[in-house]
Amino acid sequence: MDTVGSFHLRHRTLSLAAANLGLAALAYVLAFALRFDLQIPPQFVRTMLVLLPLLLACKGVVFWHLALHTHSWRHVNLQGFLDIIKGNALGCALFVVTVVVFRGVEDFPRSVFVLDFVLATGLIGGTRLAFRAASEGGASDLPRRIEELALIVGAGSAGIQLLEELLNRPRMRTAVVGFVDDDPAKIGLRVCGVPVLGAVPDLPELTKEHDITTVLVALPSGSGKQMRRIVQYCQAAGVRYKVLPSLGELVDGRVMYTQMREVKVDDLLAREPARLEVPKIEHWLRAKTVLITGAAGSIGSELCRQIARFGPERLILYDRNENGLFTLDMELRSLFPALDLLPVLGDILLRDQLASVFAKERPQLIFHAAAYKHVSMAEQNVIEAVRNNILGTRNVVEAALAHDVAEFVLISTDKAVRPTGVMGATKRAAEQILHAMQDSCRKFVCVRFGNVLGSAGSVIPIFREQIARGGPLTVTHPEVTRYFMTIPEATQLVLQAATLGRGGELFILEMGEPVKIIELARNMIRLSGFEVDEDIQIVFTGLRPGEKLFEELQAEDEEVSATFLDRIKVLQYTNGRPNIAARLEELERLVAAADGPGAVHLLCEMIPGYRPSRLALGHGDGATEPDTASLSKARRRDVARPLRAASGT
């Protein structure tokens, strides 16, 4: 069967090549006929026939080089026409040069060169266009039952591709009435025979005028701001709305344009794709042995997926979560079968285990993503948060130093800035450990960023579960805001930032505009097909102990400068390296003695500005509103600002 298929493929290729040359020969003869008003003198007939093989040889070489014989006639597009023009131009030029060099043009009609180019381009291109029109006409003549009338938002290449697929698939039973596009130059025009009826703000009026049932958003690289605006107008019009898959899914070929899906909250928070130096990242990671702690977590697992794309020599997955590690290992082996993977059930608290793995595997690059990250859990489990986030980080850094690891990347959080909770304080201490222990011979850097969409325990999965139960959605405070970033974007920027490091830097990822959680809750309710307060309620529970009203990415005393990448900034340390060895020994003693309040007091000494909650100190449940009494003047102003805005003062 393989032999038959191969013969058929060769036969088809030769047929297409012969058709191209046949049309070129016909154009050449017609050029002579037109030049002499369909009455070619005998002497020129001989010239025409003698030079015909030369013409076919010249064009055949050029056509084959440009692979015109591989172009599908049924799916010819603009690029195909450009290739045809280019092929004929180069073929004619080669023919002219050959004739001039070996024969001269004294007895050759020069206008034939121009006529041949025009006619050959028209015949070869026109034949393909006619073939495509015939094939599409046959598909459009099939019986078609229309079930929904649609508008396409976006009259660009994605919208045109979507329209063509809908026209070529009668079973979709969707008729496109028109396009909607914010470009004023397009409004009133017809794109592929379909009119551009108006702009996005016209959606409510257009849907009513044309009895539209569905709006198809064809903006695969649209920003979250664009999506929020479109969804707002669709909701005002009371119509269904669907969105194209992401640009990455379309480019990878995992989905087709007609595989529309419902709008997700991720679409409303999405940003423009980050501009990355992919060759630099690939050069940095290729042929290295990379170890990732916390590999089964949200950030750790995505780091594994992203790093695997760049061909490291070996990828070591280090985590104590057996089920998560097994699932990740199976996924990566399926996606990257050639990758050398080593899943290690390991604990960063076991120093002897770390030493054994480092000595045996000799990793060259460490990504330390293992950490306890939930604010409320850390407030109620101070000892374990300190043990894991601080002492565990020290263990990994010491193992890296002892085994000559050249590069180390610590994953930090915006909660480390002016921390109000144990989780943020322990991560700030982890930053101090890396800064204090790295030396000038190594590239040890830290990357700090905010919340990521869809991570385990984040607000979005919680809201989804609450909506599935019929509500209510619980929001801590009407003015609480958070930064959000998709997990792939965060990990890609982590990799990019790490390539910029020379040792000792703390990089900060630009997170965009903060999002009000109350607005996020309302959007998720509406996207689920419910009405706020009518179908699903929103209730306020009050800030939990250790929780901030808003997040920050840098403190007032931190000097941050820009890099050449607009989403990555670098913090300049203004003080020397902190001497924390004695404090780490004291913390270890307090953890061993299960002295939570003592550990919290020591954290207050290590981290200026940290004000623990009463719960962390072991004094009850703690306050649920922002405690501004103990804050600096600047911090009281920042906390009060959204409250004043809410009251209109």
- Token pair for 597: 């309040």
User: Nearest-CA neighbor of 607 among 595, 615, 619, 616?
Assistant: 616
Taking each helix axis from N to C terminus, what angle separates 517-527 and 459-468, rounded to the nearest 10 degrees? Answer: 40
User: Nearest-CA neighbor of 425 among 612, 592, 202, 246?
Assistant: 612
Question: For the chain, how long is the longest CA-to-CA vector?
Answer: 112
Residues belonging to the active site? 415
Place of tokens 């840098």: 554
Q: What span, in angstroms and rounded, lies between the C-alpha atoms of 459 and 521?
A: 9
Q: How many CA atoms lie within 13 A of 149 on its CB side?
A: 9
Left if phi > 0, otherwise alpha if psi is -120 to 50, otherwise beta: which for 486? beta
Q: What span, in angstroms and rounded, lies between the C-alpha atoms of 207 and 205?
A: 6
- Token pair for 279: 């060759």
Tell me, rounded to whole angstroms, the distance of Cα 335 from its chain centroid: 18
CA-based radius of gyration for the chain:
33
Sheet holding 214-217, edge to edge: 190-191, 194-198, 174-180, 148-153, 214-217, 240-243, 261-262
DSSP helix/strand/coil, 576 = coil
Number of C-beta neighbours around residue 338 at 10 A: 7
> How many Å from the N-terminal Cα to the C-terminal Cα in the chain?
80
DSSP 536: B
- Token pair for 518: 């109350």
Left if phi > 0, otherwise alpha if psi is -120 to 50, otherwise beta: which for 157? alpha
CB 175 within 8 A of CB 149: yes
DSSP 476: S
Name 465's Cβ contacts closer than 8 Å, sequence gap at least 6.
none
Place of tokens 């943020």: 424
Name 484's Cβ contacts closer than 8 Å, sequence gap at least 6.
269, 450, 451, 452, 453, 511, 512, 515
